[in-house]
Amino acid sequence: MKRIALFVTVLLLVACQKDQKGYTITASTSGFEDGSVVYVNSISQSNRPIIIDSVSIQQDKFEVTLPPPENNDFNYLTFKDIRGNVLFMAENNPIEMTIYKDSLRSSVVKGGSENELFFSYINTIKKYSEEKLDLNNQYQIASKLGETDKVVKIALERQELVEKEKQFRKDITNNTNSLVSIIAITELLNLKMLTAQEAKLKFDQIDDTLKPTRLGKNLNMLINNAVAVSKQKKIDIGVTAEDFSAPTPEGKMLSLKESMGKITIIDFWASWCKPCRIENPNVVKVYNKYHDKGLNIIGVSLDKKQEAWTKAIADDNLEWNHVSNLQFWQEPIARAYGVRSIPATFIIDEKGNVIAKNLRGPALEKKISELLEQKSL
């Protein structure tokens, strides 16, 4: 009987060992000295880093076997006396890495399905960012050279690229059993590519095992805050624009009502806002073309410093009315209008009703043209 009991015990131990899962990181390195220490870090539920293991590099290689991850989350490697880290997703699959001391960001990580999806996601987003930056540079050059047709063409190309990126991010959210979908929803919400309600619908579809994770909890909190904000009163299409008064660059008080024309653009911007400065040449073109036909603009700046504000007005040739309380994101006019990102525009008619918002590039000119042509009939 003792032998049978011992045999059963051994079988149970073997079975338990088979059920236990973990994963191994195998890495090739470049530029590190023998003995360099590698730390494996996780992130706690309270967003604090925790060192869970360490290993030393020998002959440009290291290998470390880690226990099963307690939570679906990022882990990351750090290196003694070196800034930066190498991100990876903790999952029960072998992970292979190629790590470059002089460029940790260029390191290559290959693992299971989570790592494959995560790195496919960030590499594609990086590609979109590089393409947008290139188009922005082309746009600025064409604007300075006065190449109007080229400016319009580049603006349309950039808008198409933004829509493709937006769709790619949304497609990633369909991976409802992957933590990467939570990352994508979070970024879509932060980038205003999803409304709070749209983000909530997508989060509800996420696998229930992912919702209690650190990233899941953070996204749920973000969505709840966004939903609460969306229920607050804000100026939208079909609503009467709220009148306001604020100081001009000369220090005089000027109201929206005093600045209105047949059609008026309320333009929220700032000298420090790169997208605003890129869009300014287009707004100048629209203003110069349609001001005599009844278009007025009042710029509301979210600047903090008077000198930066007035210099940007002069540098960009913004020859319309401007006001600002110089309170940055605490600008009371922006808060009253629910503005949480810039540039932001509200187009109002002569009665003060909001008839369009947040139009840029060719879309802005097309709308102003339509509105003023209707007025002239």
The alpha helices in 231-359, defined as continuous H runs, are: 256-259, 274-290, 306-315, 332-336
Query: What is the pLDDT, as a whole number, of residue 17?
Result: 39
Do residues 267 and 354 share a domain? yes
Last residue of a domain, one of 48, 80, 111: 111
Do residues 263 and 352 share a domain? yes
Do residues 28 and 61 share a domain? yes
The answer to the question of residue 2 being in a domain is: no
Instruction: Give the Cα separation of 248 and 257 in Å (integer).
Output: 14
Instruction: Give the Cα separation of 74 and 90 in Å (integer).
Output: 6
Last residue of a domain, one of 187, 205, 230: 230
The full DSSP string for 327-361 is -GGG-HHHHHTT--SSSEEEEEETT-BEEEES--H
* CATH code, domain with 253: 3.40.30.10
Do residues 372 and 251 share a domain? yes
- Count of all residues that appear for the chain in the document: 377
Do residues 100 and 169 share a domain? no
- Computed on alpha carbons and rounded to an integer, the radius of gyration of the chain in Å comes to 28
Do residues 190 and 267 share a domain? no
User: Can the peptide bond before residue 281 be classed as cis, meaning omega within 30 degrees of 0?
Assistant: no
* CATH code, domain with 85: 2.60.40.180
Instruction: Give the Cα separation of 376 and 67 in Å (integer).
Output: 74
Domain span including residue 63: 21-111
Do residues 127 and 213 share a domain? yes
The answer to the question of residue 130 being in a domain is: yes
Query: What is the pLDDT, as a whole number, of residue 13?
Result: 38
261-276 core/surface letters (b: 16 or more CB in 10 A; e: else): bbbbbbbbbbbbbeeb
Say what the alpha-carbon torsion angle 79, 83, 86, 89 is, to the nearest 10 degrees. 100
| Amino acid letter for position 362 | P
Strands 245-247 and 108-110: unpaired
The reported pTM is: 0.59
Averages of pLDDT over runs of 10 residues in the chain (377 residues) are 40 41 91 95 83 95 91 89 92 94 94 93 95 94 90 91 95 95 95 90 95 91 79 76 91 92 96 94 94 95 95 95 92 87 94 92 91 66
- Residue 193 is classified by DSSP as S
The answer to the question of residue 125 being in a domain is: yes
Total domains in the chain come to: 3
The answer to the question of residue 14 being in a domain is: no
Do residues 122 and 77 share a domain? no
